Chain A
Amino acid sequence: MKKVLLIGGLCGMTMLRAASMIEDECREKEIAIEVKIQNVWESPTVYMDGLDVLIQMMPLYETAPCMLVSGKPFISHFQEKQLLSSIVEYLERGGEAS
């Protein structure tokens, strides 16, 4: 089971949409996945253990013990598909960078 966490604040609907898109893509590729979202205003502490991908919707972390991704394309819709593909491909490869 691959684990993806989206963290953000005011962009709650955007996170829900992004999570849904990732789940749909992974289902198509038959990748077992758990996608969660976290509003960091409500819960500021982010637990990264066991995560495969951390997507941040605003600049919070410089590094993470997993793939760290800017979620900006999900907000601007610019290069959104490319981002989605790169996340799914990464998960498909078993969480290893190409």
Chain B
Amino acid sequence: MIYTDHAATTPLDTRVFEAMKPYFQEQYFNPSALYSQAQKIRKEIEKARSQVATLLDADPNEIIFTSGGTEADNLAIKGMAYALKVKGKHLITSQIEHHAVLSSFKFLESQGFEVTYLPVDHTFRVSVDDFRRAIRPDTILASVMMANNETGTIQPIQELASIARSKEVYFHTDAVQAITSCKISVRELGVDALSISGHKIYGPKGSGALYLKKDTPIVSWITGGDQERGYRGGTESVPNLIGLGEASKILQSERADRESHGKVLRKKFMEQLKHHHLDFQVHEHPTYQLSHIVNIGFREVESESLLMHLMLRGVLASLGAACNSSSVEPSYVLEAGNVDRAYIKGSVRFSFGREISEEDVVWIANEVKEILELIGKVDF
């Protein structure tokens, strides 16, 4: 099997798993308890927090652990909007956000907030000018993803955050996909909040974090105990948080290698597809692009059929967003980028990981060619 769906999730790193293991059965104590066994676990959680903070160039006190990227997005968007609603009720986001973000904004709309959904160009990038024009006197919060999960296009976050700051608008970015191969410094980006997820970086599912800049107004969305400084109640999922910390530490040291490896694979894969003279187009930005995501539209091809044939040959890929794959509707991200419908329906997302070799991608490209020939012969 060759797994090419790393944008959906990544396998758990063995080193991460080893770091998590003691906290399932031996070190099971509640970190909020007073005894020394529990206090030791508290220290380990704080170490994990520091590891995440180091990865993001943040202060550990600015990291709130969550159950994943979705929860981090919900907390940031709903929590900040509610905390700021006395100042205004206008919010800004983009049309191509992940459902975790879009659904949060839809919820806020149902609660009386007004949302502007920014369009993207054919490279799936938000226009800085559009963003500037969308800001109104009553705008309180903007959220634009750092990199898109379907196409891998990287947004001009530093510029957007700078404009937001100059207009006293708070700015959040969903960096769940970007963190996998972009070096992120929240200080350089100038964002007020940023979400990440553990399972996209070879960490455990059920782990995530929200960077929240010091003194940023927010209301808690999950109330309960005083865990996470009151921002997120509930006993900590200790193994998952330890895992997230370890995965962050490993990513910090291996990110450059992962990024360059992704670039090599991407280039090789494209070359091979071109070599086969296939009719396809790549949905990407020519420069601002995550290295590990390749979204390709094959002309007049049923992508589900292509994916099925790939699976039968041992290659696992995706229709686009995994969250969207239970629907046969065209991808809203590709539609927002005005992709020709002849290519939308034949769109497949390959997302490569560190365990994939150049030989693998050459082989996959050859299989794609064979499958397209086969599908072409089927009377459908």
Contacts and interface: CB of A to CB of B under 8 A. Distances in A.
B328 A44 contact: no
A59 B325 contact: no
B309 interface: yes
Given A10-B327, A10-B328, A58 B311 contact: no
A40 B325 CA distance: 15
Contacts of A40: 308
B380 A41 contact: no
Interface residues of B, number: 17
B378 interface: yes
A72 B320 CA distance: 22
B378 A62 contact: yes
B374 interface: yes
A21 interface: no
B326 A59 contact: no
Contacts of A62: 374, 377-378
A2 to B, nearest CB: 22
B312 interface: yes
A4 to B, nearest CB: 18
A56 B328 CA distance: 16
A72 B380 contact: yes
A41 B289 CA distance: 31
Contacts of A10: 304, 325-328
Interface in B316-337: 325-328
Given A70-B379, A70-B380, A72-B380, A58 B308 contact: yes
B216 interface: no
B328 A11 contact: yes
Contact of A59 (B312, B327, B375): B375
Given A40-B308, A44-B308, A70-B379, A59 B302 contact: yes
Interface string A36-64: 00001100100000000000101111100
A58 B309 CA distance: 11
Nearest to A8: B304
Nearest to B302: A58
B235 interface: no
A40 B312 CA distance: 10
B37 interface: no
A9 interface: yes
Contact of B378 (A9, A11, A59): A59
Interface in B293-324: 302, 304-305, 308-309, 311-312
B326 to A, nearest CB: 7
A51 B326 CA distance: 28
A61 B305 CA distance: 10
Contact of A44 (B304, B311, B326): B311
B321 to A, nearest CB: 14
A62 B325 CA distance: 25
Contacts of B312: 44
Nearest to A40: B308
B380 A59 contact: yes
A41 to B, nearest CB: 7
Nearest to B374: A62
A42 to B, nearest CB: 11
Contacts of A9: 304, 308
A26 B90 CA distance: 58
A44 B312 CA distance: 7
15 contacts: A9-B308, A10-B304, A41-B311, A44-B308, A56-B380, A58-B308, A59-B380, A60-B305, A60-B308, A60-B378, A62-B374, A62-B378, A70-B379, A70-B380, A72-B380
Interface of A: 9-11, 40-41, 44, 56, 58-62, 70, 72
Given A10-B326, A58-B302, 19 more contacts: A9-B308, A10-B304, A10-B327, A41-B308, A44-B308, A44-B312, A56-B380, A58-B305, A58-B308, A58-B380, A59-B305, A59-B375, A60-B305, A60-B308, A61-B378, A62-B374, A62-B377, A62-B378, A70-B380
3 tightest Cβ-Cβ pairs between the two chains A and B: A59-B378, A58-B305, A59-B380
